Amino acid sequence: MTPLVKKFAFRIGAIDKPNARKVHTRIMPRLGGLAIYIAFIGSFLLVLPFIPSGLLSHYDMNLIKSVLVGGTIIVLIGALDDRFELSAKVKLLGQIAAACVVVFVFGVKIDLLNIPFGQSMQPVADWVSIPLTIFWIVGVTNAINLIDGLDGLAAGVSGIAIGTILVMASFMGFEPIILMSSLLLGGILGFLVFNFHPAKIFMGDSGSLFLGFSLATLSMIGFKQVTIVSFVTPLLIIGVPLSDTFFAIVRRWINKRPIFAPDKGHLHHCLRELGFSHRRTVLIIYGVAAFFGGCAIVQSIFVQFHAASWVTFVVISLLMFALQIGAELIGIVDKTRRPLLNFFARIKVKMVAQSRSK
């Protein structure tokens, strides 16, 4: 579908022109997310007649329909933005509408929550679960959109996250998530052939928003019935876009800039400034995403052996430490403020001074 969508994008004027913030230097077609969406929906309709009767319950079908219907709304909003460049408020309203369809039409929401050091899942009241679910879907949807700055970056990171969900769903035997993750991963890999550097087409907001929405929904519903999985797991699965979004908010707050104001301080921008090539930058971030995904799988496996508390504590502590060190090294928040590195430097100076005095 991608070559056909590429021609369609040029025909209707869904193109991306170079500017000061963008890496590419020539006019590029976007709307590539439409190819991923068509492949995803089309393959689902093809395999649907072959699914054994009774394999998917009514609840399972509701989960699948929430992804299909909500995803369709998101793709329409993204496609309109790819062509007409909608305002941020209009796109946000569209994302909220899609999230509300998931929650109110199909009844999919975060109704159980396991705090990191809890022993069992705790029920969540509707007045908490409904806004929490909507916030999660909208937040993750935009997180993927924010990292879509280099050829193949958003598609590859999303593919790694979806692959992580597929592995975990396979361990748990959760058929609807195995099905949806497999189809979506196939669409992503097919598109990545045309999107990896040097890209022939961009996914545009139709792709980044759709992948973000799908990730948010699948990471949430894939484990909501499994009482031994901590809420940390979905955060690890999408650790790269979430951490990049977090540092972007902190960076703009420190520099007294609007939170939604675009800049060139994201992870991929910082790595490029350090001298890494376009392709190597993308591969480095792939590696970080794979590391997060591996941590999610390892943590979920240990949790199944009732070791949730200490495993979660160790994983969170190591990742928080690594994220802070990495952020200071590449200057993703502020190139002059390095509190942790300066702290270690002072300790090193004192140790050297003490050794010399002896």
Binding site: residue ranges? Answer: 145, 205
In the numeric block, the tokens 């592995």 are attached to 167
Dihedral, 45, 49, 54, 58 alpha carbons, nearest 10: 30
- Residue 194: alpha-carbon gap to chain centroid: 20
Q: Which helix (H) or strand (E) holds 72?
A: helix 58-84
Q: What is the DSSP annotation of 160-221?
A: HHHHHHHHHHHHHT-HHHHHHHHHHHHHHHHHHHHHSSSPSS--HHHHHHHHHHHHHHHHHH
DSSP state of 120: S
In the numeric block, the tokens 């894939």 are attached to 222
State the binding site for Mg(2+). 145, 205
Give the angle 208-127-143 at the CA atoms, nearest 5°. Answer: 15
Residue 260 contacts residue 133 (beta carbons within 8 Å):
no
Residue 211 contacts residue 165 (beta carbons within 8 Å):
no
